[in-house]
Amino acid sequence: MIFLTALPLFWIMISASRGGHWGAWMPSSISAFDGTCVSIPCRFDFPDELRPAVVHGVWYFNSPYPKNYPPVVFKSRTQVVHESFQGRSRLLGDLGLRNCTLLLSTLSPELGGKYYFRGDLGGYNQYTFSEHSVLDIINTPNIVVPPEVVAGTEVEVSCMVPDNCPDLRPELSWLGHEGLGEPTVLGRLREDEGTWVQVSLLHFMPTREANGHRLGCQAAFPNTTLQFEGYASLDIKYPPVIVEMNSSVEATEGSHVSLLCGADSNPPPLLTWMRDGEVLQEAVAESLYLELEEVTPAEDGVYACLAENAYGQDNRTVELSVMYAPWKPTVNGTVVAVEGETVSILCSTQSNPDPILTIFKEKQILATVIYESQLQLELPAVTPEDDGEYWCVAENQYGQKATAFNLSVEFAPMILLESHCAAARDTVQCLCVVKSNPEPSVAFELPSRNVTVNETEREFVYSERSGLLLTSILTLRGQAQAPPRVICTTRNLYGTKSLELPFQGAHRLMWAKIGPVGAVVAFAILIAIVCYITQTRRKKNVTESPSFSAGDNPHVLYSSDFRISGAPDKYESERRLGSERRLLGLRGEPPELDLSYSHSDLGKRPTKDSYTLTEELAEYAEIRVK
């Protein structure tokens, strides 16, 4: 901006031109409103030695060469001008003083163009200066806005109109500036090339709301109907503000979700959708959709929209809640415990919304929580009754899932009350039912015979386990005399339990009724029968001849597979199934039983070659008779 007190550069150049050579000085361009006038300032010079008596001059339009017959704007010799300039042009300067200033009035658009001046000093002393001035006929004021207007930073906008008509002075006013600020008129200012402008300034603090606002300036000429208006749209730069976004979104698993983010900024922002720091989608736009197809629980969470440009940024978040049925519960806790210990079992799952969790056993609810993802089951002192299968069930309005788990309670053996012995004919079977965890060992003791039979001797013992119950059956055949006492002993790493098994059935009642005397009578009768049978067999030349080398009181066997250790060799050769079968009680220590007896043999009668109690008694009786 040039102030009124500044010394015009144009006139400095004119003063320095006094050098005695051809030259001209005029503004390269000048403007004026349509219908007004314009004064084109002009100075020229010529060599001092010419010293003309009279100096003339000619103004041409659009061409400096007379041979091209350009339109004459003004001619001092003849006053003959082109019809377009008749009554419109006159010389304001004194050619004798080397001032060639031209005034054009009643301007119209066709007068806009280049104007050349030619000096005529007489004779051949004529010179067309190459310097020229371009006239621009305008009809709008010039509103000058800074190249960058930023919201929140004070700005100055100016309205400038040419003021080169000495007869008409423009007056400026602002249009549409309400709410922006009050204008300041600086007045008439001189430009670098000697032209004049009228300037009005408007200072204001721009806001984002004023972006795109249409601001106008009006130039009016008093006492005329001439009035000109110009407008400029404010391009105010400001940082983004997110103005449109989803609120919290709920969606069912597998459905389609569309998230919208819209921002207001100038210039348009870069919009970015992010989740956990990962960029999902971005674009330079005023709005951006994030499309999620068939959402899963993994996509549940907080999504952020970031809007940014060169002037700042803004961000907002939206929470996506994916609703889904509970996952299969997981159980993290004790599954094996010792009786009396405290057991803590944690059942957990994941769902949205949180589920109802329930732990039950055999349709009995043990613990439950509502709208929780974890459930703790506390059993302060577990008992064998706590052993078994448990279920953890999780459910919400979208579905149900369940998980089964087993609690194994380890405890010392317990012999149940249904354990007993029963006798039928010559067979005794003893049942020992044990409840235990872990599985126990079971042994049957016959104290009167000093014999122990364990479950590994399958020829006599059959065992079967079902859950926590172990059932062992001892089978003794050839038991014609009173059944023996049987003690069941069971043990595992937590303890030992023994029980004498009670007898049930007819044989025990019979022995109880006849008593000791009856037993002796029955025994004598039995011996007589045996003797009779023996005599009959001899008559039939039976090859078997019983003889005993044992003492007078051999021990009696209670199993069909036991034989007397002192029997003749021919019995050994016929009945020895192995080298280890021995008769109980004849050789000091009771022998161990190394027998194999399968469950399928339970209840069978003794085989043909079995050495039964009856046969032993027969042989014994025969020896006595002899």
Question: Which DSSP state fits 194?
Answer: S
* Pairwise pLDDT comparison (248 vs 316), residue with the higher score: 316
Residue 155, pLDDT > 80, answer yes
Q: What is the pLDDT of residue 106?
A: 94
319-353: pLDDT as tens digits: 999 999 999 999 987 689 999 999 999 999 999 99
What six digits make up the tokens of 105? 């009035």
Mean confidence (pLDDT) of the chain: 80
* pLDDT per position as a tens digit, 274-289: 999 999 999 999 999 9
- Reported as half-sphere exposure (CB side, CA atoms, 13 A), residue 221 has a value of 22
**Residue 509: Cβ within 10 Å count:** 11
β-strand partners of 429: 422, 475
Q: State residue 508's pLDDT score.
A: 45
pLDDT at 4: 34
- Bridge partners (DSSP) listed for residue 272: 282, 306
Beta strands 420-424 and 503-504, pairing class: parallel
d(CA 572, CA 563): 9
The mean pLDDT of 267-279, rounded to a whole number, is 95
CB-based burial label for 339 (10 Å; 0-12, 13-18, 19+):
middle
Name the pLDDT band for 127 (thresholds 50, 70, 90): confident
- Express each pLDDT in 533-545 by its tens digit: 666 655 544 333 3
Task: Say what the pLDDT of residue 521 is.
Answer: 55
**Strand order across the beta sheet in which 89-91 lies:** 38-40, 102-104, 89-91
The amino acid present at 348, given as its one-letter code, is S
Amino acid in the structure at residue 294: E
Chain centroid to Cα 109, Å, comes to 71
Please tell me which residue, 480 or 488, carries the higher pLDDT value.
Answer: 488
Which uninterrupted H or E stretch holds 202? strand 196-204
Give residue for tokens 């929209």. 305
Q: What are phi and psi of 385, to 5 degrees?
A: -65, -20
DSSP-derived secondary structure for 48-71:
GGG--SS-EEEEEES-S-GGG-PP
pLDDT class of 236 with cuts at 50, 70, 90? very high
Distance of CA 220 to the CA centre of its chain: 68
**In this model, does residue 478 exceed pLDDT 60?**
yes
Identify the residue with better confidence: 517 or 116.
116
Tokens representing 246? 């989803």
Residues 6+ apart with CB under 8 A from 36: 107, 165, 168, 221, 226
Query: For residue 137, is pLDDT > 90?
Result: yes
Q: Who contacts 196 (Cβ-Cβ below 8 Å, separation ≥6)?
A: 162, 163, 164, 188, 189, 190
Predicted local distance difference test score (pLDDT) of residue 619: 43
Residue 358 predicted with pLDDT over 50: yes
User: Within 13 Å and on the Cβ side, how many CA atoms surround 345?
Assistant: 30
Task: Tell me how many degrees the CA angle 167-168-174 measures, rounded to the nearest 5.
Answer: 165
What mean pLDDT is predicted for residues 417-445?
A: 91
Banded pLDDT at 431 (limits 50, 70, 90): very high
337: helix, strand or coil: strand
The reported pLDDT for the residue numbered 18 is 45
pLDDT of residue 126 exceeding 50? yes
Helix (H, G, I), strand (E, B) or coil at 466: strand
Selection from 555, 535, 565 nearest residue 613 by Cα? 555
DSSP state letters, 384-405: GGG-EEEEEEEEETTEEEEEEE
pLDDT of residue 578: 35
Selection from 496, 440, 437 nearest residue 468 by Cα:
437
CB 392 within 8 A of CB 360: no
- Classify residue 453 as exposed, middle or buried by CB count within 10 Å of its CB (0-12, 13-18, 19+): buried
Specify which residues 360 forms β-bridges with: 365, 391
Using the predicted structure, report yes or no on whether residue 419 has a pLDDT greater than 80.
yes
Which residues on adjacent β-strands are paired with residue 161?
Answer: 198
Residue that wins the pLDDT comparison between 10 and 471:
471
* 184 residue type, one letter: T
Question: 246 and 316 in contact (C-beta within 8 Å)?
Answer: no
User: Tell me: the pLDDT tens digits for 143-153?
Assistant: 999 999 999 99
Contact (CB, 8 A) for 475 and 460: yes
- Name the pLDDT band for 20 (thresholds 50, 70, 90): low
Q: CB within 8 A of 296, min separation 6: which ones?
A: 253, 254, 322, 324
Which range among 107-111, 331-335, 523-527 has the greatest average pLDDT?
A: 107-111
The DSSP letter of residue 591 is: P
Query: For residues 502 and 52, which has the higher predicted lDDT (pLDDT)?
Result: 502
467 pLDDT more than 70: yes
The 10s digit of each residue's pLDDT in 157-210 is: 999 999 999 989 999 999 998 888 777 767 778 877 788 999 999 988 999 999
Q: For 513-523, what is the mean pLDDT?
A: 51
CB 129 within 8 A of CB 64: yes
Mean pLDDT of 314-321: 95
- Residue range 383-400, pLDDT digits in tens: 999 999 999 999 999 999
The secondary element (H helix, E strand) that includes residue 16 is helix 9-16
